[in-house]
Structures are given as structure tokens and as C-alpha cells.
């Protein structure tokens, strides 16, 4: 059984945030593989993993990196598979440096870039699901059902808020 999504992280310190990506993909039954490989410290390993992914039928790559955050761009330069970049928070500029490094790519070598850190990691998975759903009617149906479930949850949250507001003492 081949991997559908390859997840690469520049450091194992990225895993706490990227675990959210795995959780979402697992929830939808999407096969994934996850590795640490650095664009700067192990560039040959990055290339090996990308070549192996292409050979085994992987459909897209999600890359997480912080600071210089070149991993997604390097991967995008080595494959025509869709690449989603997740900028990681950094201690120096709160991840803005990572965001700019991930999103600013030369024309022709795109990286779909999501938000910084764990929220971005989740959205990377949802974007991956949307891309994969283009060719998978069952996944498309399940993703649509999941999205349809978001509105009732918001309505329930609003109803709870309205109840709390109605119960507050000394309301004007």
C-alpha cells in the first residue's frame, strides 16, 4: 500500500505542531509517511525522500520548517507534486520569518502556504484532503459532510453564549 501524503519536517521540534496534520489525515483514512529531513543539513536525504515518494505514487508533500524555512521550496524545486508549506514558529520573529521564506517562491515553483504553527498544520491537512478529493469521490463526500458539520457546531456555541448572556446579573 503506497503513501498518499509525504510529510517532511526540518526538525523533530516541529512534530508537536505537525502531529495535528497526521491526526486529520488519519481521521479521513489518508495514508501518510512522516520524516525529519533538513534542506540545509541533509539535502541529499530530502532528495531521496522526494524521489522515493514520486516512485511510490505519493500524491502530495507537506513540508514544515522554521527560521530560514527553505524545506518546502527546495522540495518544490525537485518535484511537480503539489507542495504545501507549513511555516513553524521561531524564537526570533514568531514565525513571520518562516512565513515569508515559505510563501515567497519564484514563478513556476509554487508552494501552497498555510498559516504558522499548529493551525497551519491542521489547514495543511485539510488543503491536502481538498486536493486529494478532486480525484476521489468518497473522500470528497466525507470532507463535505465534515464541513457541513461545522455550521451546527457554531450555532450551538452561539446558543450557549446567548444563554450565558441572558443569565448574567445586572444586565442593562
Give the dihedral sign, CA 152/154/158/164. positive
Helix (H, G, I), strand (E, B) or coil at 151: helix
At residue 109, the pLDDT reads 97
74-112: string of b/e by CB count within 10 Å (b at 16+)? bbbbbbebbbbbbbbbbeeeebebbbebbbebeeeeebb
Tens of each residue's pLDDT in the chain, 172 residues = 567 999 999 999 999 999 999 999 999 999 999 999 999 999 999 999 999 999 999 999 999 999 999 999 999 999 999 999 999 998 889 999 999 999 999 999 999 999 999 999 999 999 999 999 999 999 999 999 999 999 999 999 999 999 999 999 887 7
Alpha carbon of 97 to those of 59, 70, 94, 120, 144: distances in Å? Answer: 28, 11, 8, 15, 34
Nearest to 11, CA basis, from 73, 87, 64, 51: 64
At residue 169, the pLDDT reads 86
At residue 2, the pLDDT reads 66
CA distance 63 to 34: 10
Nearest to 9, CA basis, from 35, 30, 39: 35
At residue 3, the pLDDT reads 75
At residue 1, the pLDDT reads 54
**Half-sphere exposure for 61 (CA within 13 Å, toward CB):** 31
**Half-sphere exposure for 146 (CA within 13 Å, toward CB):** 14
Name the β-bridge partners of 84: 62, 112
Which domains occur in the chain, in start order?
Answer: 5-135 (3.40.50.1970)
At residue 171, the pLDDT reads 73
Amino acid at each position: 500500500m503506497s503513501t498518499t501524503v509525504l510529510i517532511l519536517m526540518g526538525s523533530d521540534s516541529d512534530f508537536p505542531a505537525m502531529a495535528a496534520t497526521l491526526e486529520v489525515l488519519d481521521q479521513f483514512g489518508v495514508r501518510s509517511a512522516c520524516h525529519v529531513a533538513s534542506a540545509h543539513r541533509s539535502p541529499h536525504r530530502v532528495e531521496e525522500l522526494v524521489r522515493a515518494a514520486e516512485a511510490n505514487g505519493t500524491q502530495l508533500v507537506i513540508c514544515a520548517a522554521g527560521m530560514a524555512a527553505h524545506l518546502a521550496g527546495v522540495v518544490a524545486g525537485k518535484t511537480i507534486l503539489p507542495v504545501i508549506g507549513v511555516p513553524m514558529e521561531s524564537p526570533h520573529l514568531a514565525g513571520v520569518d518562516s512565513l515569508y521564506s515559505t510563501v515567497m517562491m519564484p514563478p513556476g515553483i509554487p508552494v501552497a502556504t498555510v498559516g504558522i504553527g499548529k493551525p497551519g498544520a491542521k489547514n495543511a491537512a485539510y488543503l491536502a484532503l481538498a486536493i486529494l478529493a478532486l480525484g476521489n469521490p468518497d473522500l470528497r463526500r466525507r470532507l463535505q459532510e465534515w464541513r457541513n458539520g461545522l455550521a451546527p457546531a457554531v450555532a450551538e456555541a452561539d446558543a450557549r453564549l446567548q444563554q450565558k448572556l441572558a443569565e448574567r446579573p445586572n444586565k442593562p
